[in-house]
């Protein structure tokens, strides 16, 4: 390459760090042609060697902060994860005038507002394509490709582990705990799977997507988050009977009363493309007023898929640095001064159709007492499945699909039904989304 090389420093040599190093090396020629500059890995910060990723003669420091302080490093690539040391590292890099590329969704979702402000203050940028849906270029799509649209809503399968578990439950009729153990053995789920199965990881990603889509500051604490642990094989089967699949969705919608930000198990009509995204794959469906629905699908995690997104950010920055100026696409796509503090709708006011499952006595009058409670709350039943009682059993499962009802209304109706002597235990509830773009 003729122009000067752009010097980067990579911090963290784990899954994504080593993937990034390998992709930069393997595709160096094409990458430098696209970046219009060579990418020189000036320093790697790693507290130990990674036997899967020999570094050759690339300089290494055991102190990752040495990368943030190295005067020759122009772009620090943060791939250590977490929100403590990674935050300090990014702050130091920004303060030292370095651009930052990160794959760290927790850091961006929870501290993005302050880090973007710090970056602006120091005249540098933070790029984070890999933080949402791994290798899928969804950040660039929302920030640039869809810039002409008012985004009405988006819905995404943005946690591969959760999707793998639900796909296995459906395909093999297995229960949640059993599939989770297998996902851990296969390396899809962490030893502590809380972030994945309780929806926290998806909430991190959803809040980033919503801010990019609607032009609002990141509001991680406002996301409603419900995991998949309570979905049973029966729910998966009954959903099929009704023509639906259960997916763990992140949903963001822009309405007149406020923005909906929610992560929860969801019934989707089986004909929708999103209903057919299986295994560890991710997908995001975005509805723009001009373009209509667009769907982005691919690998949401893994060393090289994630590296693909990290390298895309590096190329963007290198291209700009070699041209002598960094084109400052605002961190959230909208001019910072024009971000709007849109109100987030309380969940009681969120309106969706519902799937309900309950155990009720199999005797005359029970069904009508249940349906009359729903109608008193303005909720009508769109579909009903009543199973025959098992031998010697007097109770039967009742499965219902309702029309659209506000959660607050549904809460009241369900509390009344749960208090009936003829109904035992809790009424299981899962929201339904039509996703008809």
Ligand X SMILES: NC(=O)c1ccc[n+]([C@@H]2O[C@H](COP(=O)([O-])OP(=O)(O)OC[C@H]3O[C@@H](n4cnc5c(N)ncnc54)[C@H](OP(=O)(O)O)[C@@H]3O)[C@@H](O)[C@H]2O)c1
Binding of residue 13 to ligand X (CB under 6 A): yes
Binding of residue 47 to ligand X (CB under 6 A): yes
DSSP 217-252: ---GGG-EE--STT--HHHHHHHHHTTEEEEEEEEE
Q: Is 43 annotated as a binding residue?
A: no
Is the separation of the CB atoms in 311 and 367 below 8 Å?
no
Instruction: Return the range that interacts with ligand X (CB under 6 A); candidates 145-153, 185-193, 299-307, 399-407.
Output: 299-307
Q: Is 17 annotated as a binding residue?
A: yes
Among 37, 108, 130, 373, binds ligand X (CB under 6 A): 130
Q: Is 190 annotated as a binding residue?
A: yes
Binding of residue 23 to ligand X (CB under 6 A): no
Catalytic residue among 7, 87, 205, 253: 205
Among 1, 3, 14, 58, binds ligand X (CB under 6 A): 14
Please list, in sequence order, all residues whose beta carbon lies within 8 angstroms of the beta carbon of residue 355, skipping any fewer than 6 positions away: 235, 238, 239, 242, 244, 267, 399, 400, 401, 429, 430, 431, 432
DSSP 138-173: HHHIIIIITTTSPEEEEEEE--HHHHHHHHHHHHH-
Distance (Å, rounded) from C-alpha 136 to C-alpha 154? 15
The nearer residue to ligand X, 59 or 389, going by C-beta atoms, is 59
Instruction: Tell me if residue 205 is catalytic.
Output: yes
Binding of residue 288 to ligand X (CB under 6 A): no
Among 37, 42, 44, 64, binds ligand X (CB under 6 A): 64
Output the CA torsion 396→431→297→115 (10° steps): -140
The site that binds ligand X (CB under 6 A) totals a number of residues, namely 22
Among 9, 112, 134, 215, binds ligand X (CB under 6 A): 134
Instruction: Return the range that interacts with ligand X (CB under 6 A); candidates 258-266, 286-294, 301-309, 412-420.
Output: 301-309
Distance (Å, rounded) from C-alpha 167 to C-alpha 157? 12
Please list, in sequence order, all residues whose beta carbon lies within 8 angstroms of the beta carbon of residue 150, skipping any fewer than 6 positions away: 254, 288, 289, 290
The minimum distance between CB 129 and ligand X, in angstroms, equals 10
Distance (Å, rounded) from C-alpha 374 to C-alpha 222? 29
Binding of residue 49 to ligand X (CB under 6 A): no
Residue with nearest beta carbon to ligand X: 14
The minimum distance between CB 235 and ligand X, in angstroms, equals 28
The minimum distance between CB 21 and ligand X, in angstroms, equals 11
The DSSP code for 264 is: E
Q: Is 14 annotated as a binding residue?
A: yes
Among 7, 9, 12, 100, binds ligand X (CB under 6 A): 12
Among 306, 352, 402, 407, binds ligand X (CB under 6 A): 306
Q: Which candidate, 180, 200, 177, 199, places its Cα nearest to that of 190?
A: 180
Please list, in sequence order, all residues whose beta carbon lies within 8 angstroms of the beta carbon of residue 392, skipping any fewer than 6 positions away: none
Is the separation of the CB atoms in 326 and 114 below 8 Å?
no
Site for ligand X, residues 343 to 382, rule: CB under 6 A: none
Where are the alpha helices (H) located in 173-302, listed in sequence order? Answer: 176-185, 194-197, 200-214, 233-241
Q: Is 240 annotated as a binding residue?
A: no
The minimum distance between CB 203 and ligand X, in angstroms, equals 13
Tokens of 106: 């927790």
Where do contacts with ligand X occur on this chain (CB under 6 A)?
12-17, 46-48, 64, 79-81, 85, 103-105, 130, 134, 301-302, 306
Query: Which sequence positions are flagged as catalytic?
Result: 205
């Amino acid at each position: 390459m003729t122009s000067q090389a752009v010097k980067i420093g990579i911090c963290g040599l784990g899954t994504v760090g080593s993937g990034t190093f390998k992709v930069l090396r393997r595709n160096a020629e094409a990458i430098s042609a696209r970046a219009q500059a060579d990418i020189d890995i000036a320093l790697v910060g790693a507290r130990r060697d990674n036997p899967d990723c020999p570094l050759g003669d690339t300089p290494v420091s055991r102190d990752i902060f040495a990368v943030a302080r190295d005067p020759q490093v122009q772009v620090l690539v943060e791939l250590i994860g977490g929100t403590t040391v990674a935050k300090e590292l990014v702050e130091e890099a920004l303060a030292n005038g370095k651009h930052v590329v990160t794959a760290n969704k927790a850091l961006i979702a929870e501290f993005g507002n302050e880090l973007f402000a710090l970056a602006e203050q120091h005249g540098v940028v933070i790029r984070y394509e890999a933080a949402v849906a791994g290798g899928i270029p969804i950040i660039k799509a929302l920030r640039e490709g869809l810039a002409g649209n008012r985004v009405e809503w988006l819905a995404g399968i943005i946690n591969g582990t959760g999707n793998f578990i639900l796909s296995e439950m459906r395909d093999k009729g297995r229960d949640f705990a059993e599939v989770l153990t297998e996902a851990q053995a296969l390396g899809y789920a962490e030893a502590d799977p809380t972030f994945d199965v309780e929806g926290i990881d998806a909430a991190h990603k959803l809040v980033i997507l919503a801010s990019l889509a609607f032009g609002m500051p990141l509001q991680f604490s406002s996301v409603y988050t419900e995991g998949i642990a309570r979905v049973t094989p029966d729910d998966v089967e009954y959903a099929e009977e009704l023509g639906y699949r259960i997916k763990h969705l992140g949903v963001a919608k822009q309405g007149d009363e406020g923005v909906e930000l929610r992560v929860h198990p969801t019934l989707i009509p089986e004909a929708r493309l999103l209903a057919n995204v299986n295994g560890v794959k991710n997908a995001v469906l975005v509805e723009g007023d001009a373009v209509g629905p667009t769907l982005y699908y691919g690998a949401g995690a893994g060393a090289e898929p994630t590296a693909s997104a990290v390298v895309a950010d590096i190329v963007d920055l290198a291209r700009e640095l070699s041209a002598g100026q960094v084109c400052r696409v605002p961190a959230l796509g909208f001019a910072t001064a024009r971000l709007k503090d849109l109100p987030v709708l309380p969940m009681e006011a969120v309106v969706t159709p519902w799937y309900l499952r309950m155990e009720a006595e199999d005797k005359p009058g029970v069904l009508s007492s249940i349906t009359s409670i729903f109608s008193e709350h303005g909720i009508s039943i769109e579909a009903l499945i009543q199973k025959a009682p098992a031998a010697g059993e007097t109770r039967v499962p009742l499965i219902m699909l309702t029309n659209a009802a506000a959660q607050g209304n549904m809460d009241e109706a369900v509390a009344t039904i749960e208090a009936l002597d003829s109904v035992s235990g809790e009424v299981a509830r899962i929201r339904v989304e039509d996703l008809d773009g």
